[in-house]
Amino acid sequence: MSAIPMLETADERIAKNRRKVAEYRIWGQGLRGTLLLLVQVVGTVWGAIFTQVASMVLLSAVCAFVHNNFYAFDVELSGHQIVMTPMSFLLVFRCSNSYGRYWDGRTLLGGMVFHCREIVAKACCYSPNDNCGELFVQNVKRYTMVTAKLINRTVSQHWDKVAADREKRKKKGDGWKWGFRDLVTYLTVPEYDDLKCVERNHPLLALQWLRQEVLNAHVLQVLSPLQEQEISSSVGELQLVWNGMAKITATPLPFPWLHVSRMILYVFLVTLVPPAVTKLNWVAVPFILVLSFLLFGLVRIGDEMEDPFGNDINDFDLLAIEKTIEGDLQLLDMLREKRFKKSDKRMPV
């Protein structure tokens, strides 16, 4: 009896597509690699801009048909060229701004991984080999992991929550509900209940737990004042990273800029069709196809890079980052245990 195949979840499908797209670097530079790159659809802008490109191609085909069968119009390019300069400036600025936000987001994401490692590494190095030290390390490790998971969830689901809350205001939905079932293994029952009562800014609660744990360790003399200050400083840096990631997610490019750039782009392409048909006749159809793909593709690239913390294929793989952090924290804890085992063997009887 053959096994029943398991259905692929949405997260698994996104992760699979992300791995597939990320492998373009190993496709090679030869004919095969070039063909793979050109025929690739997953992860490209084709799906998002197909409607716009198709509409411009249809418009150019209609104009060519009218020009050849009904009225042979003659339109010059002189008036159309006026729109080219502002459109170019707006598109270039948009792509440059979006790339800056994308790179800032990657830097902040790397900072989150670094500070999570630093917090647990310092806790493992500074804590003594006793029950209080062991309890302190385990609490710091789980609070740090919860903080990383909540930061990723907050920034990746921000606009999903906004959309769900809007539907709730329209009385068409129940509103956004945060899911915390994957955090049950990290939290106690009272902590889990406290987390469910918080409506927004959930990482702040986890950071507060982390700060309180470090302060309690200082009070119980598990940490010296200097050690407590160093770990608290790393916790503060982690909060700054979260603030930076939330700023990128919640503060998009001003809407008037986006609105004007889209309007000028459509005006540019629509007014280009009659002069192109006048000069090129039916050749204007493939010409408009290529040009509209390039321009709408640039706009779409700017849209994707503007907010890199999401569930799109080209967004950062936050789940992989979480697994990396979790594995690193477990490694640091294991190294601490090995260090103390070696020290116990060296103690004189």
pLDDT in tens, the chain (349 residues): 444 444 456 666 777 777 777 777 666 667 777 777 777 777 788 888 999 999 999 999 999 999 999 888 888 877 677 788 888 888 888 888 999 999 999 999 999 999 999 999 999 999 888 888 899 999 999 999 999 999 988 888 766 666 666 665 666 655 556 677 888 889 999 998 898 888 888 899 999 999 999 999 999 899 999 999 999 999 999 999 999 999 998 888 888 888 888 899 998 999 899 999 999 999 999 999 999 999 999 999 888 888 888 778 888 888 889 999 999 999 998 988 888 776 655 544 4
Nearest to 268 by CA among 306, 246, 294: 294
